[in-house]
Structures are given as structure tokens and as C-alpha cells.
Amino acid sequence: MIRFEQVSKKYHDKHALVRTNFHLQRGDMAFLTGHSGAGKSTLLKLIMLMERPTSGKVIVDRQDLSQLNRAQVPAHRRKIGLVFQDHQLLLDYSVFDNVALPLKISGYNERDSGRRVRAALDKVGLLDKEKLSPQVLSSGEQQRIGIARAIVNKPKLILADEPTGNLDPALSAEIMRLFQQFNQVGVSVLIASHDLELIQRLPHPVIQLNQGRISGPPSLMRQ
Amino acid sequence: MAFLKNRPAQNASRSQPESSSKRWLREHKEVASSSWHRLWQTPLANLLTWLTLAIALALPAALLLLLSQAQHLGQQVNQSSHISIFLAPYVNQEQGQLITNQLASRPDIAQATYISAKQALINFKASSGLEDILASLTDNPLPATILIEPANTSLGPEAIAILAQQLRQQDQIDQVLVDMAWLDRLQALLATSERFTYSLALLLALGVLLVVGNTVRLQIENRKQEILVIKLVGGTDAYLRRPFLYAGFWAGLFAAIIAWVILQLGVTYLHPPLLSLAQSYQSDWQLEGLSWFGSFILVIASCGLSVLGASLTVGRQLRLIEPK
């Protein structure tokens, strides 16, 4: 699903990623870890085409991203469900409208979109909050809204950047269970997290980044 | 057959986005309505923008309106141009009357009026108030005159000049006067006003573009977070541009409506003094407001300029906002 081939990224003089190789198979779930500044965000940004690599090849869903021009970026991003640490919800939108945003962009009509939004909200257990503003929800609930928005378009790949960063351990475990549920129905999941305690309790491979260099189990490192 | 045809369509609408043209129409309807509702979230700020645009539109529109009506008036003046013929001193009243009748029978002359030298003096005494001085004169200094009205009222200045030239060639005619200089001056004045108005309209159109551009830039700045999120979840540039283009359209529409009201108020205000001015010249000229066609042009120009102003700004501004 995601393949990095000798990917390097340099910001001015600083090497954020150095000749990185890994391969996340279709339907797999993996964690990406390393302390802050190790290159986690850079790696996710390369997958989202928020950045372009200095050298090497990033392949997502069999598509070489270097082949995509600026106009093709939105279509690429629509294939990926993205979950942020700070949830990035729009506070002047209702919960429903936040979740419906990816569908609106994809041109769904109200009826189909309503059905999908409610299905997504049901999955994260917040069906009864659709009319509220995200502002009145707890941070755990806000994060779940963010996840509902990421899955509403039924993406093949979910990327999460520190999704449990602001949550207590119980809530974090609950969020991770959600990701596992999506993975069980065939969605590929890559989660950047530095919550080692939580990660180690879960049966998924871990990719480690250290000063832009990558290491991990052979299953992920082979090409 | 209908049943078979219906089923796949229903299935399609259940699982996939609908056909592109239907979708396009629905999306535009949605954006038009959402941008309309957004207008009333900051009504005062919008009203100020609309007023600014309306003034920038009303000014050249008012000048164009006055200009077109002044040109109309200019044509009327052209049409009613008289020719004055001064007869030679040796032509007596009988001969003068004869020449007048001959001229009146020409096809290109509608009316010829003979004014004898004596009558001319009486007229002049009455209108000038110089009776005492004129009474002291032994001879009548005024010649007999024939006033001519050309037949074809649509006769241009050139045709009148040719007629005057023909009249000059007659022996008994001393002098032929057409006040061409005054007409030329009027034409030149109108041409100058025309160019001035067009230049002003061009400058103010540029002003409209800049005002709308700046307003849209501020709107984009205010919705930066929303734009970032939309870009991250895969919104295209066209999708992002649309609400701002509609905002430009609404601004143009409201500006046109306000400009129209300003124009009509201005016409109502100017009408009485202009009417008495026209009446003093025995003219039935009246200042008219914008016609239906003129109003239509005003709306089209205003909306067109505003959408153009918005689209010139929005592309550049959206490129500046990229998720980091």
C-alpha cells in the first residue's frame, strides 16, 4: 500500500529522512515511532503530498507520487483518511458538517452523504451528537469526530499523526481499538505515535525513525 | 424496460456520486445558497463594500447617461439649424418676396420667411432696447433677411453647408449665415466629454476590480483554517474557488442595485432645473433615467467586473495557503 524506495528529504541543511526504505502491505497496520524531530511528520507529509522528496520514490496504492502534478494532488488525498493530533475540526461547522466535508468535496448528494455520515458517526459512537458544535465536545470525542471524518469516504488507507497525543491512557486505548476495527475490515493503517507503552501492548509491527534513518521488523523493511 | 433502466441508476446513486452535469448544477446551487447566507453574517461590512462599488459604478453610469442624452439633444439642435440670408441693399421688397417664393419652392427647403429691412429694424428695436440710438440714424443699417429652414430634418452639417454654398452663388444674395462654428463647438465638446467619460469609466472599473479583489483576499484570510482542512481532505482548486466567485457575484449584483437607485435619485433631483432650462430654449428635452436595457447592462457590467476581480485574486491567494 505504501512503499518508500531510497527516500531522502532535506530541509536546507538538515536531513529529515535519509535513504528510507519500507513497504506497508495492503491491509496491514503498523506504527511509526521515534522522538520528535526524528522525521515522522516528514514521512507522513510525503505520503500526503504536502511535501516532495529530495530524492527517491514514494509509491502509494501502486501510484508513483512523483508522477502526480499539482492538479492531481486533491484526488490522491481523497484516497487517504487523515487523522491529526489536534483533530483539525472546523469549529463553525456542526459535527455532522465536519464529517460530511470529504463527501461534499467528492460531490455526494445530501441523501447519500447523510447516510454515510451517520454510519461513520455510529462507528465512533457519536451518532447522537451530530447537531452539536465540536467546541462543546470533550477532546476524546473531538478526536473520534476527526476519525469519523477520515473514514467517511471509505479510504483504503488511514494515516494518523499522533492521534492519542492529547488523550489519557483509557481514551487512547479506545481510539486504538477503533483503528484496529477499521484494519480488520481491510483498511491499511499507519499510525505515527510516540506512546511506546501503548504501542508495545498492541500486536502490530513498529517502524522506528532515528535522525531520519529507519529501522523495523524485516516484514516491513523488505522491498 | 423502464424497470430495468431504473434499477442500475438507483443503485448508482446509492453508492456513487451522480452524473457529472447534475452534480455540477447541484454543487453550484449549494454554493450559491451558502455564499448567499454567508453574506448576512457580516451585513455591515458587506454593505460598505457594496456602497463603495456602487459609487464607482454610478459615477461613470451617470456620465454616460447624461452624455447619451446630450448627444441626442445635439442631434436635435443640428436638425433645427436655420440659415439666414442677407439680401443685397439694392433688392427691393417686391424682388425679395419673389426670391423668397422661389427658395420656398425648392425641394430641399421646407420654409422660407421674408423679413423686410423695415421689419428687421422694428424687431431689433424691440429686442435690443437701443431705440434712442436707432432713432437718431438717418438710414436703416439692416438688410432684408430671408430665414430658411432646410427641408430634410435629418440633414447633416455637410448637406447644410452645401445648400448654403449654392445660395451664396446667387447675385442678389449678399451673405449667407449658418452658425456652423457653434455646431462644431458643440460636437467637439460632446466628443471630449465622451472620451473623458470613457477614461473615467475605465479607471473606475479598475477600482471595482481592486475593491472586489481586496475584499476576497480578506475573506480568504478569514477562512484560512477551513481552506487548509479542505485542501488536506482533497478539495480541488475549483471547489475552493467557487464560494469566493459567488461572493463576488453577489457583491456585483447588490452594487448594481444600489448604483441603479443612486442614478434614479440623481435623475429625480436634477430633473426640475434641467426641465426649466430646456423650456427656456423652447425644447421639449427631458432627462430620462436608465432604460431597461441600460439597467441590464449595468447589472451585467457590475457582476462581470466583480467576478473577474474575485477570480483574479482567488487563484493567487489560494496558492499561498498550503498545509504545512
What value of ipTM does the predicted structure carry?
0.90
pLDDT digits (tens, 9 = 90+) for B136-150: 887 887 888 888 877
Domains of chain A, first to last: 1-79+156-223 (3.40.50.300), 90-154 (no CATH)
Q: What gap in Å lies between CA B226 and CA B229, rounded to an integer?
A: 5
Domains of chain B, residue spans: 30-76+185-320, 82-178
* Closest CB to A107 among B14, B23, B322: B23
* Closest CB to A101 among B23, B26, B233: B233
The Cα-based distances of A64 to A31, A76, B4, B319 in angstroms read 23, 11, 41, 24
Q: Taking CA atoms, what residue in A is nearest to B38?
A: A92
Count of CB atoms within 10 A of residue B63's CB? 18
* Closest CB to B234 among A71, A105, A109: A105
Q: Could you tell me if B10 lies within 8 Å of chain A, comparing CB atoms?
A: no
Q: CA of B27, closest CA in chain A: separation in Å?
A: 7
Q: What gap in Å lies between CA A74 and CA A68, rounded to an integer?
A: 10
- For the ranges B19-28, B53-62, B235-244, the lowest mean pLDDT is seen at B19-28
Q: CA of A94, closest CA in chain B: separation in Å?
A: 13
Contact yes or no for A150/A89 (Cβ under 8 A): no
Q: What gap in Å lies between CA A39 and CA A17, rounded to an integer?
A: 6
- pLDDT reading at B153 higher than 60: no
- What does the pLDDT read at residue B11? 40
pLDDT digits (tens, 9 = 90+) for B88-120: 888 888 888 888 888 888 888 888 888 888 888
Chain A residues whose CB is inside 8 A of the B239 CB are 74, 105
- What does the pLDDT read at residue A54? 92
Q: What is the mean pLDDT of residues A48-74?
A: 92
pLDDT digits (tens, 9 = 90+) for B170-187: 888 888 887 666 777 877
Q: What is the mean pLDDT of residues A128-142?
A: 91
> CATH says B82-178 is which class?
alpha beta
Q: What gap in Å lies between CA B159 and CA B163, rounded to an integer?
A: 6
Q: Strand pairing of A29-33 and A206-210?
A: parallel
Quote the longest CA-to-CA distance of chain A: 51
Mean per-residue pLDDT over chain B, rounded: 84
Enumerate residues 12 to 51 of chain B having a beta carbon within 8 A of any beta carbon in chain A.
13-15, 17-18, 23, 26-27
Chain A residues whose CB is inside 8 A of the B315 CB are none
* Closest CB to B26 among A75, A88, A109: A109
